[in-house]
Amino acid sequence: MTILQVKNLSFRYRKGFSIDGISFSLKKKDFLGILGVSGSGKTTIIRAVAGLVTDFSGRIFLGFEREKLGISFQQPSFFDELTVKDNLAYFSRISGRHNRNIFEKNYAFLIDFLELRRFEKRPAEKLSGGMKRRLDIAIALINQPEFVILDEPVGELDPILRKKIFVLIDILAKRGCTFMITSHILYDLERVCNKLLVVNDGKQMFFGDSSEFMDKVKQTFKTKIAFSSAEDLNKMKAAFKDSRLVFSANTATMIHKKDNMQIKELFYFLEKESIKVSEVRVSQPSLEDIFVKMVSNEERKE
């Protein structure tokens, strides 16, 4: 059953940034990962789905009651002056779904799972960044939502806690919860998301199964060449300045499909100019590489 459907979502901020033509749909228990660089429009999409922006064009269909939405924003959102417990109690009660017994149960579970028990009586402002993030997530999950939006949920967490969060997400997903999550840590998205939405500069680059996206990854290669001298590097830069080569300190990298012509040209040039290289590595690009390439429009040029 479709739990969320977004059709041609477009929105323009006063300051000029906009998202345009975003369309995707989610079924129950789907786990959507939204991928994009900072300022690409991820948060805007989340806000539109959450109902925080309303002057958009397009349509958004919600297959759930608003009371059953749990949301954790990129910036932790709670009352600094209230304690952990007070914050959870407050947001539970104003959600309109508060049930004391359920709350007590959920509270106990989340507090312990997220290792906040020791700090439950501490004012939120006195928590560390990681604790704040956990509290924010706990607030999102306190009322057993059916649809959860997590905006950069694990950014400030250590790997262990990060893993714990995803375990929690897993547990909830198994209970029938649908997730929409943004993260810069593509590895995490890769692990948990079954759907992927890639946005760049407000435009939708990709939406579909993450496996489909990974298939794309598999069809591409990443070639990395390390140069011995700066002079040689500069020669390469001069010769391939309009190419898709990405130059860094002493390397040149390109992600390409098999039998890419430009790679052939590159090796030909190396040989012709007798440029000395210290290393040549050809590997399978990571999701991040694919993503970087995608957003730098290399895929389009191909």
Which whole-number Å values give the CA distances from 203 to 5, 198, 258, 279, in the listed order? 17, 8, 27, 37
Token duo for residue 173: 């997903």
The residue from 16, 38, 94, 242 that contacts another protein (CB under 8 A) is 94
Q: Tell whether residue 86 is a contact of another protein (CB under 8 A).
A: yes
Cβ-count burial of 55 within 10 angstroms (0-12 exposed, 13-18 middle, 19+ buried)? Answer: exposed
- Pick out residues in 103-122 that bind another protein (CB under 8 A): none
The residue from 67, 112, 231, 279 that contacts another protein (CB under 8 A) is 67
Count of C-beta atoms within a 10 Å radius of residue 273: 12
Task: Kindly state the smallest distance separating residue 152's Cβ from another protein, in Å.
Answer: 14
The residue from 8, 81, 283, 284 that contacts another protein (CB under 8 A) is 81
| DSSP line for 247-283 | E-SSEEEEEEETT-HHHHHHHHHHHHHT--EEEEEEE
Q: How many residues bind another protein (CB under 8 A)?
A: 47
Tell me the window of 9-17, 108-116, 203-211, 236-244 that interacts with another protein (CB under 8 A): 9-17
Sequence-distant (6+) residues with CB within 8 A of 94 are none
Q: Tell whether residue 102 is a contact of another protein (CB under 8 A).
A: no
Answer whether 4's CB lies under 8 Å from 31's CB.
Answer: no
Q: Tell whether residue 271 is a contact of another protein (CB under 8 A).
A: no
Answer whether 214's CB lies under 8 Å from 288's CB.
Answer: no
The strands making up 277-283's β-sheet, listed across from edge to edge, are 246-247, 251-257, 220-227, 277-283
CA torsion angle 45 69 197 25 (round to 10): -100
Task: Kindly state the smallest distance separating residue 27's Cβ from another protein, in Å.
Answer: 9
Tell me the window of 89-97, 160-168, 245-253, 266-274 that interacts with another protein (CB under 8 A): 89-97
- 20 to 59: interface string for another protein, x by CB under 8 A: ------------------------x--x--xxxxxx---x
If the CB atoms of residues 199 and 266 are measured against another protein, the closer one turns out to be 199
Give residues in contact with another protein (CB under 8 A).
Answer: 1-3, 5, 11, 13-15, 44, 47, 50-55, 59-67, 69, 71, 73, 75-82, 86-87, 90-91, 93-96, 98, 123, 139
